[in-house]
Amino acid sequence: MTAKQFMPAEIEDAQAMSASEAIEYHYDNDTRFFSLWLDPTLSYSSARWRDPLAIENAEPDLTAAQLNKLTFHLDAARIPKGGSLLDIGCGWGAILKAAVTERGAARALGLTLSRDQLDHITAGGWPGAEAKLQDVYEFDTDERFDAAISIGAFEHFARPEMDRPEKLQRYRAFFDKLHTLTTPGARFSLQTIVWDALTFDEAKKWIPQTVFPQSDIPFIEEVIEGANGAFRVIYLENDPTQYADTLDAWVKTLKTHKATILAEWGEEKYTFFERYLRNSKLAFQRRKNSLARFVMVRR
Ligand SMILES: C[S@@+](CC[C@H](N)C(=O)[O-])C[C@H]1O[C@@H](n2cnc3c(N)ncnc32)[C@H](O)[C@@H]1O
């Protein structure tokens, strides 16, 4: 099957957006724009609407589902009282803030590639929380962390041109780095979008149609193989409805702020984000993508 055959019509439209424009839209956007349509914690990743094993326990709205997601990861990470947490791809710092203000962490360090996010965290002034503008692959320190969390960053680690051995090597390098940065027995709670009902070759053809054409996302088995030897996987959930519902909530809120966004940021930006959120939702509904949460223990 070719990429075109399984491509929804709306995704064909989104191809008009070039790779560099897509990057620009995502990394040079200001915090105020995102605060219009994200939840109050500014979580820019899938919420946790339900426990996939429970029959009836859906969260009532995005705000509750995002808080439930933060609780899931902080519980899973088990930061010891007075201990330290590393958050790889910390966004606007919701995990860092909760770790030091609610979970007894003495220190929470976040890594991000976004200056807007760094400035937001610095302005927050949460005692013990700090962010660095730093690529995790280049991060070097003598510090050893008692726990680690990464939500929505793993999707950016591999490049589209990588074949499977290169992709696995890239993921292994990440887990080896994290092994060095953490103490024995440290928990790592990882959330990432994964490819689902596609073969490796089909996924490669799908990448140009996604919103980050400069990165490739993992298959579940690639994450497990990458972690093998450095971390032991003790829990996994795999549920595309979690992200489909999050994207649905985001697009609804974005639409309610259409007039403001058009006036302040212009039509091109509004159209890009509306299409991107809608198309991404379709990819989860059609199971091209799924949302995986892994809990691991450092060997
Ligand atoms: C989709 S956002 C998710 C942010 C946050 N974890 C959340 O859930 O709201 C992805 C984050 O990963 C960061 N990121 C991506 N690649 C990274 C890398 N190689 N090293 C460090 N941070 C990275 C981005 O700067 C951004 O903060």
Closest CA to 124 of 85, 84, 82, 92: 92
The dihedrals phi and psi of 290, each to the nearest 5 degrees, come to: -140, 175
Q: H or E stretch including 222?
A: helix 220-227
Provide the residue count of the chain.
299
The answer for 63, left when phi > 0, alpha when psi is -120 to 50, beta otherwise, is: alpha
Q: How many CB atoms lie within 10 A of CB 52?
A: 13
What value does the mean pLDDT take over residues 169-175?
98
Give the Å distance between the CA of 112 and the centre of ligand 1. 5
CA 88/CA 216 separation, integer angstroms = 18
The CATH number of the structural domain formed by 9-298 is 3.40.50.150
Residues with CB under 6 A from ligand 1: 43-45, 88-91, 111-114, 117, 135-137, 151-153, 156
CA 38/CA 47 separation, integer angstroms = 11
Q: Using alpha carbons only, give the angle 281, 170, 230 rounded to the nearest 5 degrees.
A: 100
Give the Å distance between the CA of 206 and the centre of ligand 1. 22
Give the atom of ligand 1 at the shortest distance from the alpha carbon of 156.
16
pLDDT higher than 80, residue 7: no
Q: Which residue has the least CA distance to atom 14 on ligand 1?
A: 89
Q: Can you tell me whether residue 96 is helix, strand or coil?
A: helix
Domain ranges (residues) in the chain: 9-298
Pocket test for ligand 1, best of 43, 85, 113, 157 (most atoms within 8 A of CB): 113
Give the atom of ligand 1 at the shortest distance from the alpha carbon of 41.
9
CA dihedral for 126, 105, 49, 211, sign (positive or negative): positive
CA 131/CA 251 separation, integer angstroms = 29
**65-120 pLDDT per residue, tens:** 999 999 999 999 999 999 999 999 999 999 999 999 999 999 999 999 999 999 99
**Per-residue pLDDT band at 235 (split at 50, 70, 90):** very high
> Would you tell me the crossing angle of helices 19-27 and 267-285 to the nearest 10 degrees?
100
Closest CA to 281 of 256, 249, 236: 249
Across the chain, the runs of DSSP E, i.e. the strands, are 84-88, 107-112, 129-133, 145-151, 182-195, 231-238, 289-298
What value does the mean pLDDT take over residues 222-244?
97
Give the Å distance between the CA of 91 and the centre of ligand 1. 6
β-bridge partners, 147: 85, 187
Give the Å distance between the CA of 205 and the centre of ligand 1. 24
Give the Å distance between the CA of 125 and the centre of ligand 1. 20
* CA distance readout (Å), 299 to 183, 185, 188, 227, 228: 9, 6, 11, 10, 10
**31-79 pLDDT per residue, tens:** 899 999 999 999 999 999 999 888 777 899 999 999 999 999 999 999 9
**Per-residue pLDDT band at 12 (split at 50, 70, 90):** very low
Predicted pLDDT at 26: 59
**Residue 171 has which token pair?**
């993921």
Single-letter amino acid, residue 279: N
Look up residue 136 and give its DSSP letter: G
Give the Å distance between the CA of 2 and the centre of ligand 1. 31
For residue 137, how many C-alpha atoms fall within 13 Å in the half-sphere facing its CB? 11
**Per-residue pLDDT band at 230 (split at 50, 70, 90):** very high
